[in-house]
Copies of this chain bind each other. A is one copy, B any other.
């Protein structure tokens, strides 16, 4: 019986090297504290410009990961 449960967490990766790098930055940071990262979806692409007009892109992601059963992990 397939009855898995996943959780979504929303994170924002920023980068001055473009959108793909901001996604990569966010996923690498998330993988340090969350196990079983399974999928993601981009929910917004924004950015800020510093006083010299140099842009930093900010990509918001929802990241899904599988929840372990607390009963199992308690064993």
Taking Cβ atoms with an 8 Å cutoff, the residues of A that contact B are: 1-21, 23-27, 29-33, 37-42, 44-49, 53, 55-58, 60, 62, 64, 67, 69-71
Q: Smallest Cβ distance from A54 to chain B, in angstroms?
A: 9
User: Which of chain B's residues have a CB closer than 8 A to the CB of A27?
Assistant: 49, 53, 55
| Beta-carbon contact of A5 and B26 below 8 Å | yes
- Residues from chain B with Cβ under 8 Å of A1 in the complex: 16-17
Q: For residue A8, which residue of chain B has the nearest CB?
A: B10
Task: List B contacts of A14 (CB < 8 A).
Answer: 2-6
Known: A29-B67, A49-B37, A56-B2. A11 touches B7 (CB 8 A): yes
Selected from B7, B15, B45, the residue in CB contact (under 8 A) with A42 is B45
